[in-house]
Structures are given as structure tokens and as C-alpha cells.
Structure 1
Amino acid sequence: MRNRIVMSMLAGATLLASTLLGAGPAQAAEAKAQLVGSKAQAADAKVQVADVPAEFGTDWHDPLTAAPPIARPATKSCQVTLADTEFRDFTPYKGTYTPPKACGDHWSKVVLRLDGTVKGRQYDRLGYLHVGGVEILRTSTPEPSPDGIAWSVEKDVTRYSATFRTAQDVEMLIGNVVDDTYTGVIGVKATLTFYEGRPAAAQTPDRVITLAADSTLTTPRNTERIVAEVYATGSGGGCEEFWYLAVPDSAPYSCQADKGPYREVQIKVDGQLAGIAAPFPNVWTGGWSDPFLWYVIPGPRAFDVKPIEYDLTPFAGLLNDGRPHHIDVSVVGVPEGQSGWSAPVNVLVWQDAQRAHVTGKLTLDRAGELANSSTYTPGSEERVDTDAGHRLTTAGYVDTSHGRVRTTVDRTLANTSVHRWIDGENMDGLDATWTDDESVTVDGRGPARTTATHRTYTMNGATTIGTDDRLRTVLTLGDRAAVVDTRDGRRTGWSRLDDTYSGDATYTLNVPRDQRHAVGTSSERYRLYGSGGCYDRSLSTAQGVLTEDRSGC
């Protein structure tokens, strides 16, 4: 998909679901309260329908998503600015962070907010924000209107509280290019707001550790729970930005990989497989050859890239020996020597305050055979059918001050896709589904507790180019998850997420911007419901005008 690559050049998961998905039913009650004006919003949107232009102009509605706002406690708050800067090139912003004095050193919630502005012409760009070396945000940017846009991203970063308790270095980068053609300077302000109080101990680790320069990890010797998070993104403007479209070497297509499109993010401890996961198929705001799809509503997770989480607690006994252990993250399926993936690692650690040394043992590390089949079928319409998957089970125990605790992690991945295209790739389509099923059982200190998570990601779309050089992209993306929590076999909580984006946009190729005669519609419905409540919001746009903003369960 040559055009697709040219059009996007990035520089560059208990409420049960709150950690996994970034929001939860518990937040929905507040979100509903914050959206009491939704009927008025809907009425305004209907009025705007009459004003929808025939095609895109020089300005459009600021980017927004249907995701719920972050619930905020009604307690005293303090705000700290992390960065207030502009990005014109690839020079990182470097500053310092000092903890707020007026809100104590324990907080019921910490909320990160990024406000951005950009004007003129610019590609989508990928960025990160580090505090004390810990990655607290990975994000991408919208493409601007000539007249300028503003957008914001909010994220619950309470899990990084241990890092925020002491002064730290701050580093932020949104790599950018500004010249006579690409004029968009990206302005950002990033703040942390601290809410006084104490969070749930199970949700907030005692320490957040980054890997040493040699990719080693040394955990405190009294560690009783370990979770690694990896902000894995395929990016950089090359084929790995569109990894889901890769084909076997035998197929005549612009993006080839040895065995096709299957990608799997693996984490290893001292060379031993410790975790597997399906990467989310991120689509940035220049993706699929058609930026007009994304001018108002970005694809799921585009502005808030969620990390993959791996429960490494079965390895705690091994890691607690006081020595450094090598941690390796790799992406299965990437052709040897090819770049395009970034995978920074944070390690979240919970410690036993009553023990100086927690001992334990890894009792099971069993990986199934990795299945990966991509079959190429030639013809007037070329076709690649992919069927792949993998399974890993790990188990171990730690002997803590409150007894022996056993943890079993079982994860099963699957990917099926059908990729069709014709000679010249002026019809190029994909229908793909990824599933990532995970079960974590903790047995000890009371009845056994299990959290089962079923994640499903979907992508269905096609790009076509007509004889009149009109390029049209029709695309639907899905981000879904079902989480069930049980205790001693009885369900104690549940949640379901369904975030679906759909877009249809057309413009003329190979002409100046003001002659593209672009038109486009987009919509998003974000539903999150379960034992903690319900949230449901829908957005629709046409030619950059917001035509619907409706909420309610």
C-alpha cells in the first residue's frame, strides 16, 4: 500500500476494566453527571447539520473522542506543570518535576492532561512523556487545519505515584519537521493534578522501575507482585506502521514480511518466555492513505496509546535474588534487521512490608507451538489468508508474611485475516480480527481469585482509486474487551467495552490541497457497562462538522 505509507509519516489495560481500558463503570456515574448537557449538545449538533459544507474547508471541529472523562475525587487538589513547550524538530524537551507540597505525598488519584495546538500543514507525529525515566504517556497527534486546531488528552496515572513522590527529570518529545512545506509547529502543555487521599493499595505499586541501560532489572528482594507494561507501537512511516497488511515474500505487494502479518509482542526473563500479547492495531491520523477520515475523530487509542500488561508474578521468586536479570521485549514476525517498533518497559512492583526477603519459585512455564500460516492465492485479485496464534501458561508462588501465594497466568492469542488487492494496489482491503484471552488466578490469603479478560480487536476496510484519481477509504475499527472477576468460583464483578469507529472519506490525488474536493464522514460509539455502572456516547461528523453528540444508557 504505497500511497498509505506516503500519507502517514510518524516521526518517531481492577473497576475490572479501569486499568486495562483507561476508564470504567465506576467512572461512568460521574461521566453521566458531566454529560447532563448532552441533549443540548445533540440539539446543537442537529442545527449544525444544515451548515455542513459540501467539502472540507480550511477549518473543522477540534478533535474529540467518545471515551469517558476521567472521574475526579471531590478532594483538595494540586497541579504541577510538567512541560509547556513547542516541537519543531527532534530535540527533546527536558525539565524537572517537583512534587506538590500542599497535597501530601499520597494521592487518591493523579490525572495527567496534555493540551495541544497545531496550525497549518503537518503530518501525524508520535510522542512520549517520561518522568524519572518512566514512560507515563505515549501519544500521537492530529493533523491540523490551515486555520489551526486544539485538542486534549487525559489519563489516570495514579499507578505511577511512587515515581511522583520525589523530584525527577522530565523528558518529552513529539518529533516534528517544520519547513517551507510542513509548517505545523506543535505546541503542548502537560500537567499533573493530584487529589489528596489514599488510593487502593492493590492498584498502586510501591515502586515503578525502568530497565537499566543493559536491559536488566533488579527488583527489591521483598517483591510479592510484578507487572510489566510495554508501550509497543509499530511506527516510523515504514511497513511496520502497517504491519497488519504485510504479506509473505512470495506475494507481489509493497510490504512484505517473511511469514506475513502476524505480530506478537513477547517478553522474556533471562531468555525464558514470560509473557505474550497481541499488539493493538493502532491507526494514526494519517493512516490508510486518507487523513480526511481522522480530522475530528481519531481511531481508538490514537491519542492515548495503552501499554500491554504482563503479570510476571510467577517469576518473582526468581527475580528476588538481589541480582540483575535480563529482560527482553521482541516482536515476532518483524523481518530480520527491519526497524519500526518501539517497546519501552516499565516494571510495577508491590512489596511485602513485613518481609526483607520474599522467596518463591517458578513452577510452570509452558508455551504451545506458535502457529503462523499465511497463504497466498494469486489471481486478478490477489489474496493472502492468515491464521495464527499462540498460548503460554506460567505459574509460581511466593512465601510472604501472609502465607504462600500462588499465581497462574494463562494467555491465548489468535489472529485471522483476509487481505485482498489488485495489481497496482489501487484496490487494497483487509478484514482482520485479533483475540487476546488472559486469565490470572491468585490463590492464597483467602479464596482463589480469578480475573478473566477477553480482548478483541477488529479492522475491516478498503482503499480504492477510481479512474478519475479519486481515492476513497472505507474503514471500521473495533476495540472490545470483556472482563469477569470471580472469587472462589463466584462472579464478583464484570465489565464490557465496545469502542467502534467507522469512517468513509474521498479526495482527489495528485492535485494541490485546495483542489482535492475532499468529503468525509466519521462516527464513534463508546460503550462501557458492567457491575459498576454504564457509559454510552456516540459522535458523528460530516466534512469536519460535528453532526451528533449523544449520550445516555
Structure 2
Amino acid sequence: MSMLTGAVLLASTVLGSGTVRAAPLTSSPSPPTASASASSPSPGVPAEFGGDWHDPLTAAPPVTKPHTRSCRVTLAEAQFRDFTPYRGSYVPPDGCGDHWSKVVLRLDGKVRGRQFDRLGHVQVGGVEIFRTSTPEPSPDGIEWSVEKDVTRYSATFRSAQDVEMLIGNVVDDTYTGVIDVKVTLTFYAGEAAGVPDRVLTLDRGPQGTTLTTPRNSERVVAEVYATGSGGGCEEYWYLTVPSAAPYSCRAGDGPYREVQVEVDGRPAGIAAPFPTVWTGGLGNPFLWYVVPGPRAFDIKPIEYDLTPFAGLFNDGRAHRVEVSVVGVPEGQSGWSTPVDVLVWQDPGKAVVGGGLLAHDAGELTDSATYTPGAEHRVDTTGGHRLTVAGYLDTSHGRVRTTVTRTLANTSAHRWTDGESVDGLDASWTDDESVTVDGRRTSLTTRISRTYTMNGTTTLGADDRLRTVLTLGDRADAVTRRDGRLVSWSRLDDTYAGDATFIVGVPRDQRHAVGTTSERYRSYGPDGCYDRRLATAQGVLTENRRRC
């Protein structure tokens, strides 16, 4: 255990910070634009954190809702004190039909006292429809809410189903926060275009996990809710170093991770995991009390277009589908990878034949170089490329689908002896191209994703711990039909934080200060969304919309 992690752990465990699952941040030091430890408070902003703060919120846009008749169903209402899941039942709504223009999930939560951040999920009929994490509370209590468009799971919602929800928690004399949540679905009357006909889960048996699809499947997309968690080093996989380096989180060859899907033993999809930082992350809870990092409340699944394999799936047999996280040392746990499979069927044929045309799994590169010194350093470069093509003889002719995905990761991790200074400058790119060639037309969609993390944690001689951090979640998407632009979108979600407190002392002696901000911008043919949040010492100082 590093000196920095040990200090934060001691303060958390003995004195009741909400952050026991702390690991040092790694990144190349970069001076903040505004120092939380030196800036003057604005009017109405206290000089330091008190015992309460603004309820958590994010800059992400709310789900747009149609102006149609709606019906609401409660999926779960529970108080989580331990690791006992809530189990209930779902019945389709009465009065809104069995097809909907939109289905919106909403979680409303509250917690007070002292508690860790916790991971949670909601499953309906075994289908994972939502994965989330929780904020850490103030002594007086906080409330928060999350919305998600879950229209794509409409096929599951059309019949009665079992419901399971779990937010694993521990409540005792020290950690007193009971997590109280209510989850609802609101159904809006109408018809949504392009909704999958079936939503499947993998079957588990002696041969592993398998998938059996309808024999007329013409599009197959897998969703993987991949999360590194559990409090060990895989929660901070982007900070791990090769086993030869003197660092508290050593894991095999270093920090390169790749979430890979295999069909019958061959790679069928590759993706870069998003470097989520939970609300107890990086040893400094004052970064996350009001504004969480990107995706922390709404954990997005990784999508894999498996349509090139649809001809194989359509033979009516069970095919082995497995998910693995490349880079995790053998036998080490820490990743959860539940899978949903979305299937679109050909209404004009009972059986759609086809086959695989091309499969090119390039060589995976993963180099992590350790350089010792007064400032230790690990430089990592990794990447992979996969191209798969297949065809289907549908009721509207032969259709060929080609999927290409290219991954790249670079990071520079620097730290001093004892990890009292610990910094990371890292980026991940995940570029995907899907081309569908039919008898008369060709449609190509290209998505370029970029994730970034840059920050430094420093523990000074005065036991003041300071973390300066920026996180980025960006994506550009373009769709062309026969070479002509038909749609485009751009997303830029950026978080920045700078927080300082004294470790190893009671809560009222920490003299914590911190500024955080998030700016979420999205653009497309229908307009733009631009919202910026800013906080100081737990007070919301800016909530501005520019579009």
C-alpha cells in the first residue's frame, strides 16, 4: 500500500470520510487554471467545506419526452443496507398499448450519514437495463436522480417479468448511510422506429456462455456493461504498472485494457473501456460531492455490432459467446461484464442464410516501459485492430456488413517514492466503422471516441492532500448513404476538479476546499445542447445553458 493511499485510508476508516476505496491519481503534473487552495470564495461561498453541500447533479441533458399520453410503472422501491437484492415483478402498463414512442427509466435516490460510493444495477427478465453508482452523502443527507432512455428494451417490457435490483451496501456503526431508491419506467404512447425485435441474454451451461438467436436475424448488436470495480487495483486499472515497478498497484504487464467479445473462440468485437472514476475515487471525496465524473451515474454499455456473424447465428444452434478483459492478470477478479444482445429480425423470411466473408484480427500491441529514478515512470502504448465482414440473403436481397474497429492507448504515469506525488496523463481512442452494402444502396457510419484523464495527487509535508484532475469523454459520429451525408453528431463532456484537505484528522479539522466544473456539449442536425456547472466548497456557483 502506498503512503498516500494509506494516509487516506486511515483518515477514512477512523474518522469517517466517505472515501475508503481510495487510490492515488497518476498523471503528469499540470498547474490548475484556478487553484482551489488559493482562490478567494465568491459571495455566498464558505471559506471551506461544511457539513452539508448541494445535492449531486450532472450537466448531461435530460431525456427528451414526447408530448403524448404516458403511463408510469414502479420497477423497484427499496432501502439497501447490505448485499441483499431487491426482487419484485413487472407488469406492462395499462392504457399505453404495447408499443411506445419512448420509454424512460428514472432513479430517485437519497442517503444521509456516512457511506462509500456503491455500484448498482437493474435487471428486468434477466436483461440489464441500467447500471449506476451512488454519490457519497453529507451528514444531513443528499438526494439525486438519474434518467435513461431505455426504449431499446421495449421487447422485454411487453410481457410480465421478474425484476432484480441491487446496490451492494454495508451499514454498521461507522458507515451509517442507508441507500433509499425508487426506480420507475414511464411509457409514452406511439411507435418508435428501429427498436430491436428481441432482447436476449446469454445462457450459461457446461460449455460456457452461449447465444441462440431467431433464425431470421438480420442485425445483431451486443451490449456489455463493463465495469472495473470492487475496491482492488482493477477499479483503478488505468493506474496499474508492470510487476517490476515499485508501485502499490502492480498488475501483470501494465494498464492496457481491452474488452473483447469472442464468438466460437474467435475475436468478434474489441473496445476500449471507459476510464470511469467513481465518487469515492482517487483518494479525494471533495472532488465528487456535487458533480460526479462523466458516466458515473449512468454507466453506458459498450456496443458491438455482431451482424457479420448473423449468418452463423441463424443456423439454429447455440454458439459460444464470451467476454474477456485483456490485460487483467490471470486469476485476478475485479471486472463485471453482463451482456445483452439486441436482435432485429427479417419480417419477410423465416430463415435468413448467410456466412462470414472476412476476419482479420490484427496483432495486439501492448508495451509498458518502466524507467526508475527519483521520479519513477511507466510509459504505455497499446492498440488493436479488428475487421470482420459477413453477408445475409435477406427478403430484400443480399446484404453485406463490414465492421472495423481500431483501438489505441497512450499513458505516462509518474510518481515519487512513497507515492506522495502521483500523476497520470492518458488518452484512449476507439474508432469504429460499420458499412452495410445492399442491392441498391450503401450506408456507412463512423464513430470516433476519445477518452482522456490528466491529473496529479500530491501529499505535502503538512498532510494536505491535493488532487488536480481533468476528465474527457468525446465522440464524433457521421453517417453517409452512397457517399452523401445523412446525419452527424458531436459530444464533448469535460470535467475539471481541484480539491485539498488535511488527512488524518477529524472531519471538522480537515479545512477542505475544492472547485469543480463540468461542461457538456452536444451538437447535431437538430441543434445543440451546452450546459456548464461549477461549484466551490460544495456550493453551486454556476448553472448555465448556452443553447
TM-score w.r.t. structure 1 length? 0.92
Return the alpha-carbon distance in structure 1 between the equivalents of residues 337 and 447 of structure 2: 22
- Give the secondary-structure state (helix, strand or coil) at the position aligned to 2:89: strand
Instruction: Return 140-149 or 529-538, whichever deviates more.
Output: 529-538
2:203–2:211 Cα contact (<8 Å) kept? yes
* 1:9–1:236 Cα change, 3 Å: farther
Offset of 1:140 from its aligned partner?
A: 0.1
**Structure 1 stretch displaced more, 437-446 or 119-128:** 437-446
Equivalent-residue separation in structure 1 for 2:508 and 2:480 (angstroms) = 57
Matched, 1:379 2:385: no
Amino acid at match of 2:180: G
Give yes or no for contact 1:9–1:125 (8 Å, CA) kept in 2: no
Unaligned runs of 5+ in 2: 13-18, 23-40
Residues 233-242 or 442-451, more deviating: 442-451
1:213 matched residue in structure 2: 204
| 1:69 corresponding residue in structure 2 | 62
The aligned residue for residue 474 of structure 1 is: 468
User: Deviations along 1:382-441, whole A, 9 cap, x unmatched?
Assistant: 000001100000000111111111100000000000000000011110000000000000
Question: Residue 56 of structure 1 aligns to which amino acid in structure 2?
Answer: F
Alignment pair present for 1:292 and 2:283: no
Aligned partner (choices 541, 544, 552) of residue 535 of structure 2: 541
Q: Does 1:114 align with 2:107?
A: yes
Task: Report the equivalent of 2:432.
Answer: 438
Distance 2:265 2:526 in 1: 40
8 Å contact from structure 2 (residues 294, 473) kept in 1: yes
Letter in structure 2 aligned against 1:497:
L
Amino acid at match of 1:377: T
Aligned counterpart in structure 2 of residue 504 of structure 1, from 488, 498, 503: 498
**Structure 1 pair 189–353 and aligned structure 2 pair: CA distance change class (3 A):** same
SS at match of 1:382: strand
1:328-380 alpha-carbon deviations (Å, 9 max, x no partner)? 10000001111000000000000011111111001111111101100000000
Matches within 5 A, 1:381-396: 381-396=375-390
The one of 81, 94, 97 equivalent to 1:101 is 94
Specify the code of the residue in structure 2 equivalent to 1:113.
R
Deviation at 1:9, TM superposition (A): 5.6
Quote how far apart the aligned CAs of 1:537 are: 0.4
Residue 432 of structure 2 aligns with an amino acid whose one-letter code is: E
Please show how residues 49-68 of structure 1 align to structure 2 within 5 Å. 49-68=42-61
CA distance in 2, matches of 1:9, 1:299: 18
Secondary structure of 1:281's aligned partner: coil
* Counterpart residue number, 1:457: 451
The whole-number CA distance in structure 1 between the counterparts of 2:153 and 2:487 is 25
Q: Which of 118, 122, 137 does residue 125 from structure 1 map onto?
A: 118
Distance 1:400 1:9, change over 3 A: farther
CA contact (8 A) 2:21 2:281 kept: no
Aligned to 1:175: 168
Secondary structure of residue in 2 paired with 1:433: strand
Partner of residue 15, structure 1: none
C-alpha deviation, 1:158, in angstroms = 0.1
Aligned residue in 2 for 1:150: 143
Partner of 2:255: 261
Question: How far apart are 1:54 and its partner, in Å?
Answer: 1.2
With 342-351 and 436-445 compared, the bigger mean Cα shift is at 436-445
Q: Secondary structure at the match of 2:155?
A: helix
Partners of 1:544 and 1:364 in 2: CA distance: 54
Tell me how far apart the structure 1 counterparts of residues 507 and 129 of structure 2 sit (CA, whole Å).
36
How many positions carry a matched residue from both structures?
515
- Indicate the residue corresponding to 2:25 in structure 1: none
Match of 1:486 among 480, 485, 502: 480
Gaps of 5+ in 1: 12-47
Distance in 1 of aligned mates of 2:283 and 2:379: 23
Q: Which of 511, 519, 539 lines up with 2:513 in the alignment? A: 519
Residue of structure 2 equivalent to 1:79: 72
Name the counterpart of 1:189.
182
Q: Cα gap change, 1:426/1:197 in structure 2, threshold over 3 Å: closer, same or farther?
A: same
Runs of 4+ in 1 over 2 A off after TM superposition: 1-11
Give CA-to-partner distance per residue, 1:433-476, whole Å, 9 cap, x none. 00000000011153100110000000000100000100000000
Identity %: 75
Compute the displacement of 1:10 (Å): 6.7
Query: Which secondary structure does the structure 2 equivalent of 1:288 belong to?
Result: helix
More moved, 208-217 vs 337-346: 208-217
Q: Secondary structure at the match of 2:418?
A: coil
**Residue 345, structure 1, aligned to residue 339, structure 2:** yes
Match for 2:196: what amino acid?
A: P
- Separation of aligned partners in 2, 1:182 and 1:446: 63
Aligned twin of 1:25? none
Encode CA deviations 1:125-162: one digit per residue, 9 max, x unaligned.
00000000000000000000000000000000000000
1:91 to 68, 84, 93: 84
Is 1:242 the equivalent of 2:243? no
Residues 21, 283 of structure 2: 8 Å contact kept = no
Q: Indicate the residue corresponding to 2:158 in structure 1.
A: 165
1:532 Cα offset (Å): 2.2
One-letter code aligned to 1:206: D
Aligned partners of 1:10 and 1:235 also within 8 Å: no
Contact 2:103 2:188 survives alignment (8 Å): yes
Could you say what secondary structure the match of 1:383 adopts?
Answer: strand
Alpha carbons 1:392, 1:412 under 8 Å: kept: yes
Three-state SS of the structure 2 residue aligned to 1:424 is helix
8 A Cα contact 1:128 1:135, kept in partner: yes
Deviation, 1:4, is: 4.9
Q: Secondary structure at the match of 2:154?
A: helix
Could you give the per-residue CA deviations for residues 226-261 of structure 1, whole angstroms, max 9, x where no partner exists?
Answer: 000000000000000000001011110011111110
In structure 2, C-alpha distance between the alignment counterparts of 1:207 and 1:229, rounded to whole Å? 13
Q: Residues 464 and 137 from structure 1, CA distance in 2 versus in 1: closer, same or farther, beyond 3 angstroms?
A: same
Deviation at 1:490, TM superposition (A): 1.5
Answering whether residue 254 of structure 2 is matched by residue 230 of structure 1, we say: no
State the distance in 2 between where 1:225 and 1:259 align.
37
Q: Distance in 2 between matches of 1:137 and 1:253?
A: 35
**Correspondent of 1:274 among 268, 277, 283:** 268
- Give the letter aligned to residue 387 of structure 2: T
- Aligned pairs for 1:6-17 (under 5 A) are 6=9, 8=19
